A and B are shown apart, each in its own frame.
Chain A
Amino acid sequence: MTTENHPIDQLFKEKLGSLEKNPPAGLMDQISAKVAFRGKIRRMNQVKTAIGIAAAMLLIMMAGWYSMDQTRIAKNQMPLQIPQINTPALAKTNQESLDIKPTVNQIAANQHTIQTTPAKNTSLQSAKPSKSLTVQKNKVVSASVSDGASLLAAQTASKEPSKAAKQEENTVKTKAAEEKTVVKEKSKTESGSNNFQKKNPPLYFADAGVVKQTPSRESGKGNWGITAELSPSVASQSVSGATANTTQQSTVSGGMLASYQVSKRIKVSSGIRFSQMKQDTHTSYTLSQTSGITYLQPVDKAANLAGDVSLYLPAVSSIVYSNGMKTNPTDNFTSDIAQELKYLEVPFQATYKIIDTYLSVGVTGGLSTNFLVGNHAIITQNGINLSNGSTGNVRDILFSSSAGIEVGYGLAKNLIITIEPRIKQYLNSVSSNDQVNYKPTQIGIFTGLTFSFN
């Protein structure tokens, strides 16, 4: 601090430096009232912040639960069952099968055999109960212990294995040994991974989707915000002429969006969102094979909502069930098919606030581009998984429009929680097959948490 000896400065400092004046009466009462009011506001803000944190944690936990649930469902869809076989030799073979790969057990549990070639079966069955192992890159690995009709066929085959058959058998054994080694190593790795996971529990992050939602009381121009949102979604189909029994499954979608407050009432937002379509269909298919891939083509095209189904099986001459029934490629094949399509959505949407107070209400609308990132189909019959595959003729990019009503409540100065019932309509057909016109409508209730930067 510094001073300067100026007569004006000195005059004012002398006279006003220690000036004392009594303030008007009643001012302290006003101060006391304001102190009490601010105390209440502060406590309310603390409660709101706590609620906001709890809501954010709930969103994260839901996403984590969903992620875990998906893993569990995937495992349940491939039950490992070992058929009851009394023959010691068969039991031994089954044990070997167990060591080879879980898929072996799966197929065994399904109690059907995919017969690759008669020569293979003959050669294997001559040495011991037949075991066939076929590896198809990236698609299906099947190995099965034949029973029923196939086992009977093996017993009637030649007891003297040919040289080629022996060579084939050796090849199979080598492959089995290799597989066994790989499985053991994988098991060790997984065991190590489990130990690591025990020490470091996995973290689950919410599938976020951001919708910029500036708190209504801070709805100034030029504010940026970020929102995480999560929603259960249900879909309805709009397929004409469908005769199949199709059930839409509920899914969860969510994402993160960044938004910008263009004006007091208008904001625009964009980001990335994860969405899914799931459906179970019971209908008839015809089998066909091309380049080693078996295709199931629905008899009623419109019934298969997302198009044809491709099963990546080795070249099959027939599908044989445990009861000995065979299905030829030319036969109609009736089964249940579960289809799942996953998309990453890039939305561009705008929100107009009708009511702009602590409790804000606005209408939202926008367009999205959806990129296919996951395609999975499971064929089941009588609850048994027959094979995994994917849905064919699915477009990689879909366009959709959405509209909703957003209700927001400010939890804190920069934090707002929103609930938005939203309807989403796909604008082009999911399938590129001309005979399948599938443009689903999805409805979801999005719960979001927005943090605004201002």
Chain B
Amino acid sequence: MLSVTQLEEIIYKCREENNGAQTALYRLFSSKMYGVCLRYARDSSEAEDILQEGFLRVFTKIRQFEFKGSFEGWMRRIMVNTALEKFRKNDRLYPVEEMSIYEATNWVDETISSITADDLLRIIQELPPRYRMVFNLYAIEGYSHLEIGEMMNISEGTSKSNLSRARIILQKSVAENFGNEKKLVKKVL
């Protein structure tokens, strides 16, 4: 386990553009950050791009880190922002699809325990980009709809709508793959 002092030393050396320190920092946080990137990307290839660009920004902006708060949190925000920028560049309008929603799903402990992270990762990556972004930011990162609206340049209502649709799709996917009770209640546009 790395001590705070050791981490600070690595950060200071990274500020001096020390290659060894940069490599050490990458080894320390790359797996966690890659996990973040995978959630925001549609596949592993896009996640690698985000990770690469994210670390480049970390190394070039590391002087801006003022040792206030968690360094990991700071890196995580950079990764999320990098993913958001990539999303903005590639943002396209997706047709509103006809989808089915499930009014209720009986989640039992057995079902939950049988679902792996890779399974959920695959499901979340299949979401339309806008829904994936909103769901990640709201459900996992914990941002409010107001914050998400500002980050994504959309209204608060749009953010709520996107989250709702994302949940519906995810619920459907999970239920189809892992649910023990499927009940189609209505269709929405």
Contact surface of A with B, Cβ cutoff 8 Å: 1-4, 6-9, 11-13, 15-24, 27-28, 30-32, 34-35, 38-39
Contacts and interface: CB of A to CB of B under 8 A. Distances in A.
Nearest to A29: B23
B35 interface: yes
A19 B48 contact: no
A194 to B, nearest CB: 49
Contacts of A24: 48
Interface size class on chain B is 35 or more
29 contacts: A1-B142, A1-B143, A1-B147, A2-B143, A3-B138, A3-B142, A8-B167, A8-B170, A9-B138, A9-B167, A11-B115, A12-B124, A12-B135, A15-B117, A16-B124, A18-B32, A19-B38, A19-B121, A21-B34, A28-B23, A28-B27, A31-B56, A31-B59, A32-B22, A32-B23, A35-B17, A35-B22, A35-B56, A35-B59
Q: Which DSSP category, helix, strand, loop or mixed, fits chain B's interface?
A: helix
B81 interface: no
Contact of B51 (A12, A19, A23): A23
A16 B34 contact: no
A2 B171 CA distance: 21
A19 B144 contact: no
Contacts of B60: 35, 38
A22 B26 CA distance: 11
Given A1-B143, A2-B144, A8 B55 contact: no
B101 to A, nearest CB: 11
B30 A27 contact: yes
A249 B14 CA distance: 61
Nearest to A10: B139
B56 A21 contact: no
A22 B59 CA distance: 20
The 8 closest A-B pairs by CB, nearest first: A19-B35, A9-B139, A1-B142, A23-B34, A20-B31, A2-B144, A15-B117, A21-B34
Contacts of B99: none
Interface string B143-179: 1110100000000000000000001001100100000
Interface in B106-127: 107, 112, 115-117, 120-121, 124
B105 interface: yes
A7 B34 contact: no
Interface string B49-88: 0011001100110000000000000000000000000000
Nearest to B121: A16
Given A15-B117, A21-B38, A3 B26 contact: no
A120 B65 CA distance: 90
Given A12-B120, A35-B59, 11 more contacts: A1-B142, A2-B144, A3-B138, A8-B170, A9-B139, A22-B30, A22-B31, A28-B23, A31-B52, A31-B59, A35-B56
A109 B36 CA distance: 90
B117 A19 contact: yes
Contact of A21 (B19, B35, B120, B174): B35
Given A6-B167, A17-B140, A23-B48, A31 B31 contact: no
Of listed B135, B140, B144, B167, residue having the most chain A CB within 10 A: B140
A61 to B, nearest CB: 36
A27 B48 contact: yes
Contacts of B38: 19, 21
A22 B120 CA distance: 17
Contacts of B138: 3-4, 9
A28 to B, nearest CB: 5
Contacts of A39: 17
Contacts of A30: 52
B130 interface: no
Contacts of A2: 142-145
A27 B107 CA distance: 39
A39 B22 CA distance: 14
Contacts of B124: 12, 16
A229 to B, nearest CB: 36
Given A34-B52, A35-B22, A16 B142 contact: no
B39 interface: yes
B153 to A, nearest CB: 19
Nearest to B167: A8
A263 to B, nearest CB: 24
Nearest to B30: A23
A16 B120 contact: yes
B105 to A, nearest CB: 7
Given A24-B48, A35-B59, A11 B174 contact: yes
Nearest to B115: A15
